[in-house]
C-alpha cells in the first residue's frame, strides 16, 4: 500500500491548460461550451486539470486561434473549423455544408461514420487535435429587406454572407458583401445591403435585426454548424492517460450540451419573436431557387474535389453517409413530423 500511496502522490500533480476562444467575453451559448467543458474537466479530475479561458477580448485575435494553438501559445482553442479555410482549405468541411447533414446525422458521421478520422487526417499535419465543440443546430437563412420569389430576385442581391455559402449565392448572381459587424445594423437598416445572415433566433435577437427587416428566411446554408475544440498535440501528449480521457469526455459532453442549449435558446427566442414582433414574416426560398442553389453547391463541391484528393475523400465520405443517414431521417423524424401535425 506504500507503493500505491506513492503513485497517488505523483497523480496529485495539477495540469494547467490555457484555452483561447474566438468569442468575446461572456458570449452566450458559444462561450458557454468551453466554460462548461473547463468546469466539468476540473470536477471530474478532482482539480487536477485546470483550464483557464481567454476570450477574444484578451488575445484580440478571433481568427488567429488556429495559429496560436499550433504554435503552442495556447494549449487549446474553441472556435469553428471553417474559419481556417483560407489557411488550410480542407478544414472547411468539418463545420457544416450547405445542403449537408443535420446535427444528429453529422454527429453520427463524426463518431461512427469516419468523420473523426478524416478530421485527424487534416489537422494532424499541423500538430493539432480537433474535436466537435458544440452545435448551433440549423441556422436561419437570414434577414431580408425584400422577398425572394424567383431566381431573378437573387441577381444583384447585396448580402452579407461570408465563406462558402457566399460563393454558392455568387454563382447565381448575388453579390456577397463584406460589412464589419459593428456596421451591420446600420447597413441593413439603411438598405446599404439587402440581406444578411447571422445565426438564428438564439443569437439574432440581441442584434436587433427583427426591428428593421421584415423577412426572416429559413436556412439552407448552415444546417448543423459544429464548433470546434482544438488541442496542441504536445500539450495533449503531456497529459496522463486518465486526464486525456477526462478532457475527451468533458469536450464531448460540453459539445452536446451546447447543441441542446442552442435548441432551447432558439425555441425561447422564437416565442418572444412570435409574441412581440408578429409582423416579422418567416419565409422559405421557393423550390426553384432552392434547386438552383443546390445545383450550384454541387458544382462548386465537384470543383474542390477535382483539385485535391483529400477533399474528394472527405466530400465522398460525407455524401455517402448523408445518403444513408437521410434515408433513415426520412422514414423516422421526417415521416413522424409530417404525419403528427
Partner 1 sequence: MIGIIMFFVALLMLIFGFPVAFTFGGVALIFGVFAEGPDIFAFMPFRVQSIMENVTLMAVPLFIFMGIVLQRTRLAEQLLEAMGKLFGGVRGGLAISTVLVGALLAASTGVVGASVVAMGLISLPVMLKYNYDKALACGTICASGTLGQIIPPSIILIILGDVLGIPVGDLFQAALAPGLVLIGCYVVYILIYTWLKPEAAPALPMDDDLTHRHEQYIRALKAIIPPLALILVVLGSIFAGIATPTESSALGGVGALLLAAIYGQFNWKMVYEASQETVKISAMVFAILLGATAFSMAFSYTGGDYIVEELLSDMPGGAMGFLILSMVAIMILGFFIDFVEISFIIVPILAPVANALGIAPVWFAILIAMNLQTSFLTPPFGFSLFYLKGVAPAGVRTMDIYRGVVPFILMQVGVVITILLFPEWYGLLD
Partner 2 sequence: MLIKAERAINRFSDFLGTVAAVLFILMLMNVFIDVVMRYALNEVSIAMQEMEWHLFAAMFMLGVPYTLRAGGHVRVDLVYENLSIRRKAIIDIAGGLLLLIPFCLLVGWYGIDFAHEAWSLGETSGDPGGLSNRWIIKAVIPFAFFATAISGIAMILNSVIALKDEHETKIDRGLL
Applying CB under 8 A, the residues found at the interface with partner 1 are 24-26, 28, 55, 57-61, 64, 67-68, 71, 73, 179-180, 182-183, 185-187, 189-192, 205-208, 211-212
- Print the binding letters for residues 82-121 with Na ion: x by CB under 5 A, - otherwise: ----------------------------------------
Across 60-212, the runs of DSSP E, i.e. the strands, are 76-79, 128-135, 142-144, 158-160, 175-176, 195-196
Q: Are 95 and 226 in contact (CB under 8 A)?
A: yes
> What is d(CA 222, CA 238) in angstroms, rounded to the nearest whole number?
36
259 binds, among partner 2, partner 1, Na ion, none (CB under 5 to 8 A by kind): none
Candidates 333, 339, 319; CA nearest to 109 is 319
Subset of 132-191 contacting partner 2 (CB under 8 A): 156, 158, 162-164, 166-167, 170, 175-178
**Smallest distance, partner 2 to C-beta of residue 91, A:** 10
Query: Of the listed pieces 25-33, 52-60, 139-147, 313-321, which binds Na ion according to CB under 5 A?
Result: 139-147
Stated as kind and residue range, the H or E segment containing 53 is strand 49-54
> What is d(CA 336, CA 330) in angstroms, rounded to the nearest whole number?
9
Candidates 151, 150, 143; CA nearest to 194 is 143
Q: How many residues form the binding site for partner 2 (CB under 8 A)?
A: 23
55 binds, among Na ion, partner 2, partner 1, none (CB under 5 to 8 A by kind): partner 1
**Smallest distance, partner 1 to C-beta of residue 19, A:** 15
Q: Are 317 and 118 in contact (CB under 8 A)?
A: yes
71 binds partner 2 (CB under 8 A): yes
77 binds partner 2 (CB under 8 A): no
**Smallest distance, partner 1 to C-beta of residue 200, A:** 16
**Smallest distance, partner 1 to C-beta of residue 24, A:** 6
Q: Which residues contact 9 (CB under 8 A, 6 or more apart)?
A: none
> What is d(CA 259, CA 57) in angstroms, rounded to the nearest whole number?
24
54 binds partner 2 (CB under 8 A): no
> What is d(CA 7, CA 113) in angstroms, rounded to the nearest whole number?
39
85 binds, among partner 1, Na ion, partner 2, none (CB under 5 to 8 A by kind): partner 2
> What is d(CA 166, CA 280) in angstroms, rounded to the nearest whole number?
24
Which CB, 82 or 236, lies closer to partner 2?
A: 82
Which CB, 44 or 80, lies closer to partner 2?
A: 80
**Smallest distance, partner 1 to C-beta of residue 147, A:** 18
| Secondary structure string (H, E, C) spanning 179-217 | CCHHHHHHHHHCCCCCEECCCCHHHHHHHCHHHCCCEEE
Which residues contact partner 2 (rule: CB under 8 A)? 67, 70-71, 82-88, 156, 158, 162-164, 166-167, 170, 175-178, 192
Please give the residue ranges that form the binding site for Na ion (CB under 5 A).
Answer: 139
Amino acid at each position: 500500500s506504500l507503493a500505491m500511496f506513492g503513485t497517488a502522490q505523483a497523480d496529485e500533480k495539477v495540469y494547467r491548460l490555457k484555452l483561447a476562444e474566438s468569442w468575446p467575453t461572456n458570449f452566450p451559448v458559444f462561450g458557454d461550451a468551453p466554460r462548461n467543458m473547463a468546469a466539468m474537466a476540473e470536477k471530474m479530475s478532482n482539480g487536477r486539470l485546470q483550464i483557464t479561458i481567454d476570450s477574444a477580448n484578451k488575445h484580440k485575435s478571433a481568427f488567429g486561434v488556429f495559429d496560436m494553438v499550433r504554435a503552442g501559445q495556447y494549449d487549446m482553442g474553441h472556435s469553428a473549423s471553417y474559419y481556417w479555410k483560407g489557411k488550410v482549405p480542407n478544414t472547411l468541411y468539418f463545420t457544416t455544408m450547405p445542403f449537408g447533414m443535420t446535427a444528429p446525422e453529422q454527429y453520427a458521421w463524426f463518431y461512427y461514420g469516419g468523420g473523426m478520422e478524416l478530421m485527424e487526417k487534416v489537422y494532424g499535419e499541423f500538430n493539432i487535435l480537433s474535436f466537435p465543440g458544440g452545435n448551433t443546430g440549423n441556422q436561419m437563412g437570414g434577414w431580408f429587406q425584400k422577398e425572394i420569389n424567383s431566381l431573378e430576385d437573387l441577381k444583384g442581391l447585396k448580402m452579407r454572407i461570408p465563406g462558402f455559402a457566399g460563393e454558392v449565392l455568387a454563382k447565381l448572381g448575388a453579390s456577397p458583401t463584406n460589412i464589419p459587424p459593428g456596421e451591420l445594423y446600420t447597413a441593413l437598416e439603411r438598405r446599404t445591403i439587402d440581406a444578411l445572415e447571422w445565426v438564428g433566433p438564439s443569437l439574432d435577437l440581441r442584434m436587433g435585426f427583427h426591428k428593421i427587416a421584415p423577412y426572416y428566411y429559413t436556412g439552407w446554408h448552415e444546417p448543423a454548424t459544429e464548433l470546434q475544440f482544438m488541442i496542441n498535440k504536445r500539450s495533449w501528449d503531456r497529459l496522463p492517460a486518465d486526464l486525456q480521457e477526462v478532457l475527451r469526455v468533458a469536450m464531448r459532453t460540453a459539445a452536446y450540451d451546447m447543441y441542446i442549449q442552442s435548441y432551447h435558446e432558439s425555441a425561447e427566442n422564437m416565442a418572444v419573436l412570435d409574441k412581440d414582433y408578429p409582423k416579422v414574416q418567416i419565409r422559405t426560398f421557393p423550390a426553384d431557387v432552392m434547386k438552383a442553389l443546390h445545383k450550384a453547391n454541387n458544382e462548386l463541391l465537384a470543383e474542390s474535389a477535382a483539385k485535391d484528393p483529400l477533399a474528394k475523400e472527405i466530400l465522398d465520405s460525407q455524401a455517402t453517409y448523408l445518403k444513408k443517414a437521410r434515408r433513415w431521417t426520412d422514414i423516422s423524424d421526417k415521416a413522424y413530423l409530417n404525419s403528427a401535425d
